[in-house]
Structure 1
Amino acid sequence: MIVSDGGPGWAAGSTVMAIRSNESMGFVDVMMAELGGPRSGTLLARLEAATPWEKLAAPIRVLPEYNNAGAGRPPWCPVLMLKCLMLAKWNNLSDPGLEEQLQDRISFRRFVGLSFTDKTPDETTFVRFRDRLREAGIHDAIFDAVVEHIEREGLLVREGTMVDATIIEAPRGRPRPDGTTTRDQEAGFTKKHGASHHGYKGHIAADLSGIVVDYRFGTAKEHDSNHIDDLTINETRLVLADSAYSDRRRRAELRARGVIDGIIYKRNRGQKDLHDWQERWNRAVARRRARVEHPTAMLKQQLGYRRVRYRGRQRNEFDFALTMAACNIKKSLSLKAA
């Protein structure tokens, strides 16, 4: 077992692995830690210093395998494995790609807490770990732990909620000789701006800081507005949303609760043009929304999350939750620097 001494990239006193590692850092590891110069300015160093990884991994530690000493082969340290999953998200890596990068990149090994001679988790280990978390339903707890940490840091604005939805494409599939298809049968079809899409849809509620505070996940065929009421039920100040969420009933309910209706207006049936006051309101709402870095844009542009990696709704919902958590952790760094 390796217990860190608080050196660069290591949290003082933290356990790096459950077993399967050397008892102390050797000369090569010390030299490795010196490579690349000071780490304080690097992204991974900032993520390491700013994130309470032990607290984020707490939901994982309650699993039986982490509380049955001596019962079978000890599991990998949950902090190490959680960091590995986050690395994969931030760098848009597959499981084989993550294994390869952990073997080759010093900065990755240093971030997760692997010495030069430590064994590296392989892609099968990542698959089993992720499946175990999904089976235990821990993704919500990890996501919530990230949001709670960011709130404790005082980074949430809490002046309103912005609601949005994004399509995550799934492969269309190909026909098999027996007439069936390889298409994911749990995904759905929809049309947007005249183009056909097949996949899933993530629905998010974001604080005006840009941090995602809640989410829902469904098929692409679900309308954008299906989950806005759930996502804003506790909002007391302001709701921002595009015209897909425009609905008279919803506007009336928001007003009845004393919540400012920041939903973009769209033309009603038979209405040729919006009223002047609606045009002015839409411009004001658009300016307010533009001040918030859209989490969905960050998902696709920075994290490369444009297509699902798995078949089936449960696996992809778990993956969406982890991606949201990774997005929030990275976003929190820019909020601290602001």
Structure 2
Amino acid sequence: MIESRLGKEHHLVKVYHLLDWGRFGRLLSCVYERSEPVAGVIPYDPVKMFRVMILQAWHSLSDPKMEEALKVRLDFMWFAGFDVGDDVPDETSICRFRNRLVAKDLDSRLFAELNEQLIAHNIMVEHASAAIIDASVIESAARPKQTVYPMPEDRKEDETPPSIIKQSADPDAAWLKKGKRSHFGYKLFAVVDEDGFARHGDMTSANQSETTYFETIVTDMPKHEGMRVYSDKGNASQSNRNLLKHHKLKDGIMHKAARNRPLTSWEKIKNHLISSIRYIVEQGFGTLKRPLDFSRASYFGLERVKGQAFRKMICLNLIKAANMIELLDTGQHAIPSLKRLEAI
């Protein structure tokens, strides 16, 4: 009844029928593992809780707001797998489940499983021709506290230059100055393909150098021989170009002018061509930061923020997938037959 009200064009209906939730269930089977039986309430089905995590990340809801939405929104109840009148997870259960995912490093594995399923449906290509790498700052959920030490004495301010100590409830966040603005938080490294689907990601403190971290990203990301790696001129070092050559990847790093060595005409043309591809990753960050509201982290600590980043990238890929497919009717029920929209 609820599904028929939502209609087969509803994004949650499309996503629900698109995915094989049993495969996610096998990954999630370890969430409640215990060394010995423990008396207590039976935990919620981990697949249902994973769908709650998707809803929370997609709509950027706090734990209390997520609990409330599960009680009053029919589309949320239906997608997560709860009926009207069922007990739904409270905010504490939602928080604990999310922390379990982080503790077992499951968010990245769930993201990889999603991509495998999208490839199986021919929504994502298996061997992407491009890997576009970029990084963007994610503000910390905490605000840094500033303390001046030692405190200057009245009329003696000039005797001892004070030092500034910055403390924060978020121990892993760091400062980064970009242009005239200073940012306190983290840096999200993302790799997208030529269609804009997120293929890989990682999170570091904001002060991590993009040039030196390029090797880590290229080494860890899914890749295949002949793929072209695109990146901005911040990664234009000979060591990074040699790294791509070592992995048998094509060089799509922009060229950077140096003192007494301006760009050649060929390098300017190549930079222009690379820029015409690199905008795709900027679109991805735009989706993450605006519709998915990931300009600022919701949690403290690198691992929790990294888990949030993978859940946001899951939503990014699901948004793109939902826009590329339609459900087909056969018989009397809405069923998971899928047809890719060729016009997209």
Residues 204-263 of structure 1 deviation map (CA, whole Å, 9 limit, x = unaligned): 222222222222211000012333223334442201111121112222443465532111
Higher RCO structure (Cα 8 Å, ≥6 apart): 2
Quick one: which amino acid aligns to residue 230 of structure 1?
T
Structure 2 counterpart of 1:85, one-letter code: M
Alignment of 1:34-53 (within 5 A): 37=5, 39-53=7-21
Paired with 1:140 and 1:38, the residues of 2 have a C-alpha distance of: 30
Q: Is the 8 A contact 1:155 1:209 kept in 2?
A: no
Once the two structures are TM-superposed, the CA of residue 320 in structure 1 deviates from its matched residue by 1.5
Partner of 1:243: 233
What is the rounded CA distance, in whole Å, between the counterparts of 2:62 and 2:178 in structure 1?
28
- What residue is the counterpart of 1:20 in the other structure? none
Measured against aligned partners, the alpha-carbon deviations of 1:166-221 in whole angstroms (never above 9, x if no partner) come to 11001332358998844423111111123111101111222222222222211000
More strand by share: 2
What one-letter code is carried by the residue in structure 2 that aligns with 1:229? Answer: E
Q: CA-to-partner distance for each residue in 1:266-296, whole Å, 9 max, x for gaps? A: 212343x422211111111111233567322
Aligned equivalent of 1:275: 264
Match of 1:30 in 2: none
CA contact (8 A) 1:201 1:218 kept: yes
Structure 2 counterpart of 1:112, which letter? A
Counterpart residue number, 2:289: 300
1:311 to 300, 319, 322: 300
Alignment check: 8 A CA contact 2:146 2:167 kept? yes
Work out whether residues 165 and 202 of structure 1, in 8 Å CA contact, stay in contact via their aligned partners in 2: yes
Q: State the secondary structure of the residue aligned to 2:145.
A: coil
Query: Whole-Å Cα distance in 2 between the matches of residues 168 and 66 of structure 1?
Result: 35
Aligned residue in 1 for 2:144: 173
Q: Secondary structure at the match of 1:294?
A: helix
Give the direction of change, closer, same or farther, for the CA distance of 1:44–1:156 in structure 2 (3 Å limit).
closer
Match of 1:117 in 2: 85
1:72 is displaced (CA, Å) by 3.2
Q: Report matched runs for 1:172-251 at 5 Å.
A: 172-175=143-146, 181-233=167-219, 234-236=223-225, 237-251=227-241
Q: Return the offset for 1:58.
A: 2.2
Q: Percent identity?
A: 25
SS of the aligned residue for 1:265 comes to coil
Query: Contact 1:56–1:142 (CA<8 Å) still a contact in 2?
Result: yes
Specify the alignment match of 1:285 in structure 2. Answer: 274
2:249 maps to which of 249, 259, 263 = 259
Code of the residue aligned with 2:132 in structure 1: it is: M
Is residue 309 of structure 2 the alignment partner of residue 320 of structure 1?
yes
Contact 1:262 1:285 in 2 (8 A): yes
Equivalent pair of 1:140/1:321 in contact (CA under 8 Å):
yes
1:154 maps to which of 122, 125, 128 = 122
What's the TM-score, normalizing by structure 1?
0.81
Residue of structure 2 equivalent to 1:19: none
Match of 1:266, SS? coil
CA distance in 1, matches of 2:228, 2:166: 48
Q: Distance in 2 between matches of 1:182 and 1:327?
A: 30
Q: Give the distance between the partners of 1:46 and 1:118, measured in 2 at CA.
A: 24
Q: Name the CA distance, whole Å, in 2 between partners of 1:297 and 1:316.
A: 18
Measure, in 1, the Cα distance between the counterparts of 2:321 and 2:249: 27
Q: Which runs of 5+ in 2 are unaligned?
A: 150-164, 326-340
